[in-house]
Amino acid sequence: MKKLILTLIAALGIVSGAQAAEGGIAWDKAPNRTNDLASLQNGAKLFVNYCLNCHSAAFMRYNRLQDIGLTEQQIKDNLLFTTDKVGETMKANIEPRQAKEWFGGVPPDLTLVARSRAGHGGTGADYLYTYLRTFYRDDTKATGWNNLAFPSVAMPNVLWELQGDRRPVYDKMEQHGHETEVLKGWEQVTPGTMTPLQFDQAVGDLVNYMQWMAEPAQNTRIRVGVWVLLFLALSVLFVWRLNAAYWKDVK
């Protein structure tokens, strides 16, 4: 039995390693701040300004952003384009035909991407946090960009002005009798409008919003779930004592 358990653990490790290798690199842990309204609001602003140009969020309405502390007037003034209405869903500005010509396909809807991208490497938020921070210049690609988490991705680095240009730095190491390259870090080629720390925080806010958008009721669900479990635990106590009192005279 012990040998079987060890075998299963080793197999899971191999699968996890293979998953990370397929994704390019191991995923970084994304900050989880879905209760932080300031973070969610900044993430919503970044999403509208940088993601909504090409990607839709067709299952999210603008007026739902009131759940993260924004007023209807703030949504209208800061997050809506001139032709949109506050009760409409978040639709991409790009025409599907143009998107197919430029990128080879229509950019996917992002409403549920933070849930659908979960895997052995971590949560969907971990994947997005890693993906958005690992773009680098690659002149061999049509867009001029490549990504370590999603090699040969068709999407350019839309956040490059904030991040600046970076290039990955590798170390060589021996693995299974073969020499392989392992990511050591990043070298900043040209600075962006944000420092690396500020950029990581901004991406964390963006991913935080996308995580909230994938399930806006998740915090309410967790909060209600805690109270339900406490109620059930208390009910078990009462039922146990009632059962003891009911059967105490029965021999």
**CATH number (domain holding residue 63):** 1.10.760.10
pLDDT band at 80 (very low <50, low <70, confident <90, very high): confident
DSSP code for 47: I
pLDDT one-digit tens code per residue, 239-248: 988 888 888 8
Asked whether residue 241 is domain-assigned, the answer is no
Residue 124 to residue 27: CA distance in whole angstroms: 10
Taking Cα atoms as reference points, which of 111, 124, 116 lies closest to residue 58?
111
Q: Are 132 and 152 in contact (CB under 8 A)?
A: no
Q: Which residue range is the domain that position 183 belongs to?
A: 2-215
pLDDT over threshold 90, residue 123: yes
pLDDT one-digit tens code per residue, 36-77: 999 999 999 999 999 998 899 999 999 999 999 999 999 998
Enter the pTM of the model: 0.79
Asked whether residue 247 is domain-assigned, the answer is no
Number of domains in the chain: 1
> Which helix or strand (DSSP H or E) is residue 90 part of?
strand 89-90
Tokens of 151: 């090699």
pLDDT over threshold 70, residue 5: no
Asked whether residue 243 is domain-assigned, the answer is no
